[in-house]
Homo-oligomer: A and B are copies of this chain.
Amino acid sequence: CGGGCGSGGPPTIGSVLVGTVKSYSAVKGFGFLVHPDISQDIFFQDIGIAMELRTSDLAGTAMSFELIRAADGKAQARALKPVPAGMGTSTPPSPGTMAMGMMGGGGCCGTHPGMMGKGMGMTGMGMGMGMGMGMGMGMMMMMGGKGMMPGMMPGMMPGKGKPVVRNHGVSGHRKSYALVWRVDMRDRYGITQVIFPKQGADEAGLKRYSESVNLGREFVVKVTGKVVERSNKNKQRDTGDIEVVADSLDVLNASQTPPFKIEDATDAQEETRMKYRYLDIRRNPLKEALLLRNKVTRIVRDHLNDLQFCEIETPVLIKSTPEGARDFVVPSRMNPGQFYALPQSPQTFKQLLMVGGMDRYFQIVKCFRDEELRADRQPEFTQIDCEMSFVSQEDILNVFEHMIKKLFKEVIGHEFPSFPRMEYSEAMDRFGIDKPDTRFDMELVDITGCSKGFSFKIFDDAEIVLGMCCKGLGEWSSKKIKDLEKKATGQEVGATAMVWMKYDKDGSFDCSAKKFFTETQYKAWVEKANVLPGGCVPGDLLVIIAGPKLKTQEAMGKFRHLMGTELGLRSKGFNALWVVNFPMLEWDDEAERFTAKHHPFTSPWTEDIEQMTSLDKKDQRLNDVRANAYDMVINGVEVGGGSIRIHNRELQAKVFEVLGFTKEEAQEQFGFLMGAFDYGAPPHGGLAFGLDRLCTILGGKTSIRDYIAFPKNNMGRDTMINSPSEITPVQLAELSIATAVKAKEASPAAPAPSGDYPAEKGVLRTS
């Protein structure tokens, strides 16, 4: 063993070894090392080597290096340091001591070659800690006689003790506690056991022993010591093969007893965890969520930059659009009585960038909506916002499907097949929702044709009769089926009534409306169901609801999702698809006018434009105008969406007209955009992904709050910093505003839109 664990066998990841440079090219920025115990050449990159070495001819040079696992799972080398004469591969350091490869990092290693090796009496080792889906590179925690810091970096000063946030592990008592005190030390990169021996200790050692016994949970300490092989290895832990025998201990900061235990699983209320978010972040699940998020943005940025997308920051202080979803506003001190708004999306700015010739734009950007909050909504959220010029829908779908595939592969190793494309109308017909969870079947069965005319008024009066086959529920008791009916007619689903038809194991039928129907109808229904995936076989239950088409589809869609959750069909794997060609317009009963289903900058399909010539707001043909819009749906969640945009003034003006804007209103609110179209706007389109949501799906969780470092609660409050809060009269006066708080009326805030917050649909309210 050329260093590392001190035991025999091949070198382990995290070891610091000494090898010989086989080749290196400063131009290419990488090279290879050889090591007697490793059969393959070991790749290294510039980043792993000090700046001043990068121009030299290194071939043949003996170098200490740290063995890491690269993203592809293969061994690589990093933290290369030249080894002084006599320290080459032929004379590796003896087990138990080692070259301190990481000390000082690249930037200063050249000036401290003498610090490596036995001469300094240092001991220590690198411990590879699997980071799971965290950082791509296995990160090191290192301890040594002179001390050092995790992953020391170019230019960093050596000679500091490696201090780590430590967690005093009191889980279980062992006999040996009388002779030795064991302490678990935690930092971002993992947990390491440190021991303070009593038996055989000198005076300083005895002092350290008693100090260590008094260490409390969450104390911050600096420890130096020797790394030794553990006699009782802990296979549960990446660092379980070793422990550190301390030879110094400094308490850098004491800690009160935290309000909850800093462990992976916690029974603390979310309220407590939010208030002490800085403690919650010490827990692995949150820490890993933040690391995953960083990895996601890094991959996205690299990918898009490599495709010549240019990240451009758009303003945060913009203009309020009364027509839109509710804006957060910011009073302007310099312009009394006037307000900025925080962007619901950078929509118009990215379009102006296209007009400006920046043909591929992206931005990972905070957006804001002052709407009611839920588990997957926050007042501030983050979008991966993208736009391209000279593209068709097909181009956008291909480019971003590729990006998402790459993301899932690199972050969690999941390989997607090609994403199916589904027309909006097909999604509604088959799943009753525009973001179907296609991980399970249970498609909607249209039995309208074979269920009318049997004097059953509910069906006879209905525009559509929809069934859905629940696998195996034919076995359910009457009581459970009764509960099912309650669910169907409850608030969450909203059906007026539910009929069921039981297909018994023995092949017989039963039905809650058996007064009206016979086996002939049952068999016809089953036949319809059997055309669809999954079908309907003995033992299944067909649930049926009826009514107006859209309302009934939507109710069944919700029922399907509910059942999918309840029957545990939604938990495994990933299913992705594109839903395309949404309706352009949506009738708003309350406002008695059409609104834009996506947003008013979305282009209709060229062949549908002429259907918009009619300005009779009730013209049925307006309902049929298709938008050139698309959503990416994964596991029933809309992770992204976008559209091809309008790029000329005439069409944009016509769309505003259809939406009920007067010419003056359109000019006042969006005149700058239509003005820009006068100067040669290229055809363009794009989309936006919800980053919080994407990370949540990648991490296999359901609450976006787990992927946001400092989220707000469902009243929009940050309970940790106690915000929002009152401001001073001086501030109010400077801003030319006054508060006008009325005695709290039970004013129900405007109902939140029914869907999740749409990634890119923040410009105009869609309901």
Contact = CB atoms under 8 A, between A and B. Distances in A.
A417 to B, nearest CB: 13
Interface in A324-364: 326-342, 348-349, 352-353, 355-360
A735 to B, nearest CB: 7
Given A155-B398, A731-B329, A278 B352 contact: yes
A739 B741 contact: no
B366 A721 contact: no
A567 to B, nearest CB: 36
A392 interface: yes
Contacts of A248: none
A307 B151 contact: yes
Contacts of A316: 316, 342, 366, 368, 380
Contacts of A723: 317-319, 340-341
Interface stretch (A297-305, A441-449, A450-458, A586-594): A297-305
Interface stretch (A279-287, A539-547, A614-622): A279-287
A441 to B, nearest CB: 29
Nearest to A254: B680
A568 interface: no
18 contacts: A28-B43, A149-B390, A150-B359, A151-B307, A154-B307, A155-B402, A160-B390, A186-B357, A281-B358, A301-B301, A318-B718, A319-B718, A319-B722, A330-B330, A331-B739, A338-B724, A340-B723, A349-B710
A499 interface: no
Nearest to A692: B313
B315 A294 contact: no
A373 to B, nearest CB: 8
A220 B150 contact: no
Given A188-B357, A220-B682, A681-B220, A731 B315 contact: no
Copies of the protein in its oligomer: 2
A253 B648 contact: yes
A117 B602 CA distance: 38
- Among all A-B residue pairs, the 4 with the closest Cβ atoms: A281-B356, A155-B398, A255-B680, A319-B723
Interface in A417-444: none
Contact of A737 (B139, B359, B721, B737): B737
A736 B727 contact: no
A717 B315 CA distance: 12
A56 interface: no
Interface stretch (A6-14, A89-97, A572-580, A670-678): A670-678
Contacts of A349: 709-710
A395 interface: yes
A355 B278 contact: yes
A651 B407 CA distance: 45
A394 B559 CA distance: 62
A319 B356 contact: no
Interface string A393-422: 011001101100000000000000000000
A70 to B, nearest CB: 9
A157 B312 contact: no
A693 interface: no
Interface in A262-279: 276-279
Contacts of A329: 330-331, 727, 731, 735
A108 interface: yes
B739 A739 contact: no
B399 A156 contact: yes
Contacts of A379: 317
Interface in A626-662: 647-648
B727 A320 contact: yes
B682 A74 contact: no
A287 to B, nearest CB: 7
A679 B27 contact: no
A716 interface: yes
Contacts of A716: 317, 332, 334-335
Nearest to A708: B313
A249 interface: no
A410 B633 CA distance: 39
A506 interface: no
Contacts of A679: 218, 255-256, 258, 276, 278-279
A724 B332 contact: yes
Contact of A135 (B156, B310, B392): B310
Given A107-B402, A150-B359, A319 B738 contact: no
Nearest to A320: B727
A287 B360 CA distance: 12
A757 to B, nearest CB: 16
Given A154-B398, A157-B394, A319-B725, 13 more contacts: A153-B399, A156-B398, A163-B683, A253-B648, A253-B677, A253-B682, A254-B680, A255-B678, A280-B356, A314-B710, A317-B712, A672-B722, A737-B740
A203 interface: no
A293 B391 CA distance: 25
Contact of A358 (B188, B322, B360): B188
A107 B403 CA distance: 11
Nearest to A76: B28
Nearest to A157: B394
A253 B680 contact: yes
A392 B149 CA distance: 12
Contacts of A276: 679
Contacts of A335: 715-717, 724
Contact of A395 (B51, B160, B728): B160
Contacts of A741: 336-337, 736
A121 to B, nearest CB: 23
Contact of A315 (B163, B312, B715, B718): B718
A513 interface: no
Nearest to A150: B359
A342 B357 contact: no
Contacts of A164: 390
Contact of A308 (B151, B356, B715): B151
Contacts of A157: 392, 394-395, 398
Contact of A312 (B135, B290, B328): B290
Interface centre among A308, A392, A708, A732 (most CB of B within 10 A): A308
